[in-house]
Amino acid sequence: MALRKIKEKVYSVGAVHWDRRLFDELIPLPDGTSYNSYIVQGSEKTALIDTVDTAVFSQLAENLGALGIKKIDYVISNHAEQDHSGSIPAVLAAFPGAKVVTNEKCKGMLKDLLPVPEEKFIVVRDTETLSLGDKTLEFAITPWVHWPETMCTYLKEDKILFSCDFFGSHMAAADLFEWTHFYTPAKRYFAEIMSPFRNNVRTNLEKVKKLDIKVIAPAHGYIYDNPLPIMDAYSEWSADTVKNEAMIVYVSMHDSTRIMAEYLREALIKRGVDVHFYNLTVTDPGTLAIALIDSATLILGAPTVLAGLHPAAAAAAYLANALRPRTKFISLISSYGWGEKAGSVVTGMLTNFKAELLTPVLSKGRPKEAEFEELDRLADDVAARHKGLGLL
Ligand code: FEO
């Protein structure tokens, strides 16, 4: 990331990981990502807020060099995950006088994850402040966005909230201050990272809203010189409401499940339900996660294979269960050759769902008239439930 001034004596000095395509060896990154790190120079002390992934530490080092930083007094660690903390040891090696400032829980996790000695830490509590001279940092403990130790750092004089993963987006761009098109990348990030913790998101959102914020500077992606659009989006995504949307996610071996999925899709559309339709063999998990945010209904389409659920559908069910979506209704459409197992496997996997199970439609081989009637019945059930919630 090019060195960039945000306010007087406040700079963005992080790194852009243009060609990273997978996070945690799990989450696709269609647009790459960035690890945003910030320098705040007070009249007496200098603080570095979060570091970067070790793979791109050289970019942080170059930016600090270009800025002529000779001394760092404090490394503020808002979050222990290594994409932000990984380069702390390298920064401490380059600036031996620096101390790591963080909360008690984060300190413990940093000591578990990195070779940082006890004497390097300064522990801060919620609302505590740290003076840099003419600039003041205030710490806001914001747990579970998205680890238990996460916190934000607020620069009082310049009204900047350094929020780490909170409000982040996986985006590599030359100008991360141009955030006009933030909505979809930020929603994907929320869906993948934050959505299981949306109650905590709501609590922390209300907490930081009490601060007078002019700039939100997350540790990934876009940096917002107007906090309202991203805060409004977080309010929407973390609310306990769903839309008149049904997602059909399916995998098909010999077309029977595909035929059922396509029939159900058209039946739902005829009844006025908005449909998301995904073939699991060509859909990335982030796309599914985004659709799960708003969909009132999830229909999984999967054949029985190897005496159980098709592995592609099992992976989707596992992901959906882990994301604890707001989904109100779920069902299954499934074809089988000689023995049906997908139904029991799927219901056993969706343990985090509080959704009502609508009677599945099972077909021995290709669907015939009776199965198409059942698919119409399922479409009626979905539409009626959506109407019952006032969505349709
Ligand atoms: Fe960007 Fe939770 O680390």
What is residue 72's predicted lDDT score, i.e. its pLDDT? 98
Percent of the chain at pLDDT exceeding 70: 98
Rounded to 10 degrees, the C-alpha dihedral 284/287/290/292 comes to -70
Whether ligand 1 lies within 6 angstroms of the CB of 294 is answered as no
pLDDT tens digits for range 305-327: 877 788 898 899 999 999 999 99
- Cα of 82 from ligand 1 centre, angstroms: 7
Q: Side chain identity at 72, as an amino acid letter? A: I
Whether ligand 1 lies within 6 angstroms of the CB of 17 is answered as no
Distance of CA 28 to the CA centre of its chain: 12
What is residue 309's predicted lDDT score, i.e. its pLDDT? 83
In the structure, what pLDDT confidence band is assigned to residue 282 with cuts at 50, 70 and 90? very high
Location of structure tokens 């607020």: 154
Task: Please provide the average confidence, as pLDDT, over all residues in the chain.
Answer: 95
Whether ligand 1 lies within 6 angstroms of the CB of 79 is answered as yes
For residue 260, is pLDDT > 90? Answer: yes
Letter string b/e over residues 180-202, b meaning 16 or more CB atoms within 10 A of that residue's CB: eebeebbbbbbbbbbbbbbebbb
CA distance 113 to 240: 35
- Cα of 51 from ligand 1 centre, angstroms: 11
- Cα of 64 from ligand 1 centre, angstroms: 22
Residue 345 near residue 308 (C-beta atoms within 8 A): yes
- Cα of 25 from ligand 1 centre, angstroms: 13
Nearest ligand 1 atom to alpha carbon 82: 3
Whether ligand 1 lies within 6 angstroms of the CB of 81 is answered as yes
CA distance 38 to 314: 41
pLDDT tens digits for range 41-84: 999 999 999 999 999 999 999 999 999 999 999 999 999 999 99
For residue 22, is pLDDT > 90? Answer: no
Question: CB under 8 Å to 46, separation ≥6 — which residues?
Answer: 39, 40, 69, 71, 72, 73, 74, 132
- Cα of 81 from ligand 1 centre, angstroms: 5
- Cα of 24 from ligand 1 centre, angstroms: 10
DSSP strand pairing (15-17 vs 27-28): unpaired
Whether ligand 1 lies within 6 angstroms of the CB of 385 is answered as no
Whether ligand 1 lies within 6 angstroms of the CB of 107 is answered as no
Nearest-CA residue for ligand 1 atom 3 is 81
- Cα of 79 from ligand 1 centre, angstroms: 7
Nearest ligand 1 atom to alpha carbon 146: 2
What is residue 308's predicted lDDT score, i.e. its pLDDT? 77
Whether ligand 1 lies within 6 angstroms of the CB of 84 is answered as yes
What is residue 36's predicted lDDT score, i.e. its pLDDT? 97
In the structure, what pLDDT confidence band is assigned to residue 379 with cuts at 50, 70 and 90? very high
In the structure, what pLDDT confidence band is assigned to residue 2 with cuts at 50, 70 and 90? confident
For residue 345, is pLDDT > 80? Answer: no
What is residue 27's predicted lDDT score, i.e. its pLDDT? 83
What is residue 350's predicted lDDT score, i.e. its pLDDT? 83
Please give the full DSSP string across 92-136, using - where no structure is assigned: HHHSTT-EEEE-HHHHHHHHHHS---GGGEEE--TT-EEE-SS-E
In the structure, what pLDDT confidence band is assigned to residue 28 with cuts at 50, 70 and 90? confident
What number of other Cβ atoms are within 10 A of residue 348's Cβ?
10
**Cis omega (within 30 of 0) on the bond before 146?**
yes
Determine whether domain 4-238 maps to CATH 3.40.50.300. no
In the structure, what pLDDT confidence band is assigned to residue 1 with cuts at 50, 70 and 90? low
pTM for this entry: 0.94
pLDDT tens digits for range 224-239: 999 999 999 999 999 9
In the structure, what pLDDT confidence band is assigned to residue 24 with cuts at 50, 70 and 90? confident
pLDDT tens digits for range 135-160: 999 999 999 999 999 999 999 999 99
Q: Where are the domains of the chain?
A: 4-238, 243-386
- Cα of 169 from ligand 1 centre, angstroms: 10
Nearest-CA residue for ligand 1 atom 1 is 165
Q: What is the largest CA-CA distance in the chain?
A: 79
What is residue 339's predicted lDDT score, i.e. its pLDDT? 63
CATH number belonging to domain 243-386: 3.40.50.360
Whether ligand 1 lies within 6 angstroms of the CB of 220 is answered as yes
Residue 253 near residue 303 (C-beta atoms within 8 A): yes
Residue 54: strand, helix, or coil: helix
DSSP strand pairing (38-41 vs 46-49): antiparallel
